[in-house]
Amino acid sequence: MSIDNPELISRVVEQSSEGIAISDLKGNLLFVNRAFASMHGYKPDELIGQHLSIFHSAKQLPAVKAANRKMLDRGEFIGDIWHIRKDGTEFATTMHNSLLRDESGKPIGMIGTLNDITEQKEAEANLLKQLKRFNDVADNAREWIWEVDGEGKYTYASPAVEEILGYQPGEILGNTFYNFFHSQDSVHLKKTALKFFKDKKPFRNFINRNVHKDGRTIWLSTSGVPIIEDGELIGYRGVDIDITDHKQADQELEQYRRRLEEMVEKRTAELKSSNIKLRKTIKEQRKTQAALEESERRWLSLWENIPDIVLSISRKGEILSLNRDVSGYPTEEVLRSSIYKYIASHDVERVKKIIARVFRTGKPAIYEVQGAGYEGPEAGWYETQAVPIKSDGRTQMVTLICTDITPRKKALAALKKSEKELKEQKKALEEKNIALREVLEQLEIEKKQIRGNMAASVEKLVLPALHKIRKVGTLPSAQTLDILERNLKKLTSAFDLGFSDPRLKLTPREIEICELIQSGLPNKEISRVLNLSRATVEKHRENIRKKFGISGKKINLRSFLHNM
C-alpha cells in the first residue's frame, strides 16, 4: 500500500490519539477526527460548521486570540491552551497550530493538533504543593540542611546555618565543610569525612567539633547521603544538628546521645527551571515530571527516616499524617485520632492554647511537652516545633517535629537531686562543727579548772609543810616527811596529771590528739580540727600507743584513755 494512498492517510488521522482539526481562516470547523471530538465531549458530525469559540470560555478567549495572532504572524503556534468541554468542564491542552496553504502558498485555512495534559497539570500542582510544604519545614527547622559538591564545597545551605555557626548562607557557599572544623580535630575529621566520599556511602551521626563565627566551639551531628549520577559521585546532601548543649550535658554526666536526620530536596530555582522546560515540548514535560517524582521520592525517604517524630495535625488536633510508627501505638489507631490523646493530662490545655495560637498567628512555636504512654501511663518528654503550613495566606495545618529530650530531663533531675544532697551534707557538717567547737570550749574550761584546783591544792597541802621545814632550819623529822608524803598523795589522787604526766613523754600535739580521741572524734574530724593530714594523725596515734605500751595489742585506744 502506497504512503500516498488517501485511504491510508485517512485511517492514520482517524486512529491518531492526538486531536486533529481543520478550519477556515474565520475559525469555522471543516474537519475533526474522533480524538478531537471525544476530548470535547462531541461526536465528529456535531462539530462540522461550528466555530472554534465553542471550545473556550470567556475567560480563556484572550489567551486563544493571542495564540491565533502569533500563528498568523509566524505561521504556527506551539503552547498550552485551556479548553472547555460540551458539559462545561475545563481541561488543559498542548496545541500545535499552523496555517494551511494552497499550492501557491496562500493561506486557505488552519490546522491544529492537541493533547490533553490535565493529569500532568494536576501532578505538577500536587508536586509543587508538596515542595512548598517541605520548604516551609526546612525554612523553619532549627537543623541546618546542606549540599556539597564532589570536592566538599557547599553549594546550598539552609537559613539555620546562621543560628548554628553565625554565618549567612551566602558566606558558606564555595567553602569546604572541613574549613569550619576545630583546628585540634581538623586533620582527623577531614580524613574520616573524605573516606565517606571515597566509599560513596551514606553516613549517620558523624560527630564533629566546629568553630562559630564569633570563635565559640560548636558540636554538630552530621548525616548525609551521596548524590550519584551515572555511577559517579557528584556530591552529598545532608543535615547538621547542633548538639553543643547535649555534649556539655554528656561531659557533666558522662552520657552520650545521638541524633540523626536525613533531609534531601532540590532547590526552588532548579524546580522553576524545570517548570520552564516543561512548557516547551511534551518530551520536556515528561522529563520534568520524572524529576519531580524523584524529588517526591527523596522527600518521602526523608520523611520516613528522620529520627524525630514528624506529624501534621488539623485545626481540631486530628492527626493527618505520621512519618513513622510510634512505640506502643498501632499506626492505624494513631491516624485520624486526636493529638491530645498522646499528651500527659496535665499538659493538654497548655498545648491546646499553643496550637491555637500557631493557627491564629501563622507563626511557629517551640515548647516542651510530656507524652502519655500506651494505655495511660506517662511517657517521655519531647521538645516540639510547631510549624504552620499555609495555603493562600492561611494556615491549613500544623506540622509538629517532636525531639525526644527524656535523657536530658533525667539528667537535669539527677543534677537537682545531687545539689539537694550536697546542701543537706553541708548543713550536717556545719552542725558537727558547732558541736565540735562546743566540745573544745568545754575542754578548755576543764583545763583551766584543773590548773586552778592544782594550784590551790599545792598551796593548801604542800606549801605549809615546806614552810614548816624552812622555819625549823634543820633536817625534817620523820613525822614531817610523813605529813608531806601524805599530803602529796592526797594531791595526786585528787588531781591526776593524766596525759600531762612527764613520765609519759607526750608532746603537746600528742596530748591534744589524746583529748580529741577521748572525746570520740574520728581521724577525719581530728585532721580537720587540727589542720593536719590524716596520715599525720594516724602517725601520732601509733606513737601514743607505743608510749602507753599498747602498740600491737588489741586494745581500743579511746577506751584505754577513758580508764586512765
User: What confidence tier does 549 reach under pLDDT thresholds 50, 70, 90?
Assistant: confident
356, amino acid identity: A
| DSSP code of residue 563 | T
Residue 214 in this model has a pLDDT that exceeds 90: yes
Q: What share of the chain is helix, strand, coil (3-state, %, to 5)?
A: 50, 25, 25
pLDDT by residue (tens digit) across 263-306?
A: 446 656 665 765 566 667 666 666 766 666 765 666 556 556 66
Q: 144-262 is classed in which CATH architecture? A: 2-Layer Sandwich (3.30)
Q: How far is CA 346 from CA 371, 379, 408, in A?
A: 10, 13, 20
Poorest-confidence range of 132-146, 398-412, 498-512, 541-555? 498-512
Q: pLDDT value at position 477?
A: 55
For the chain, give the mean pLDDT.
80
Phi, psi of 40 (to 5 degrees): -95, 0
Residue 224 in this model has a pLDDT that exceeds 90: yes
Cα–Cα distance for residue pair 308/287, rounded to 1 Å: 33
Residue 551 in this model has a pLDDT that exceeds 70: yes
Poorest-confidence range of 30-34, 179-183, 253-257, 382-386? 253-257
Query: What are the domain boundaries of the chain?
Result: 6-116, 144-262, 309-404, 429-562
Half-sphere CA count of 473, side-chain side, radius 13 A: 0
- The answer to whether 165 touches 198, Cβ cutoff 8 Å, is no
Q: In what order do the strands lie in the sheet with 144-149?
A: 154-157, 144-149, 232-242, 217-229, 203-211
Q: pLDDT value at position 11?
A: 76
CATH class held by domain 6-116? alpha beta
Residue 461 in this model has a pLDDT that exceeds 90: no
Task: Classify strands 217-229 and 319-322 as parallel, antiparallel or unpaired.
Answer: unpaired
Q: pLDDT value at position 376?
A: 43
CATH class held by domain 309-404? alpha beta
Q: pLDDT value at position 497?
A: 44
Q: pLDDT value at position 285?
A: 62
> What spatial distance separates the first Cα and last Cα of the chain, rounded to whole Å?
140
- Residue 498 C-alpha cell reads as 593524766
- The answer to whether 74 touches 151, Cβ cutoff 8 Å, is no
Residue 3 in this model has a pLDDT that exceeds 60: no
Mean pLDDT (whole number) for 337-345: 87
Q: pLDDT value at position 406?
A: 85
- Residue 101 C-alpha cell reads as 496553504
Q: Quote the pTM value.
A: 0.30
The residue that leads in pLDDT, 26 or 511, is: 26
The residue that leads in pLDDT, 75 or 438, is: 75
Residue 155 in this model has a pLDDT that exceeds 90: yes
Buried b (16+ CB within 10 A) or exposed e, 451-485: eeeeeebeeebeeebeeeeeeeeeebeeeeeebbe
| Size (the chain), residues | 564
Mean pLDDT (whole number) for 430-450: 74
- Residue 534 C-alpha cell reads as 590524716
pLDDT by residue (tens digit) across 485-513?
A: 655 655 555 444 455 554 457 887 888 78
Poorest-confidence range of 115-124, 183-192, 201-210? 115-124
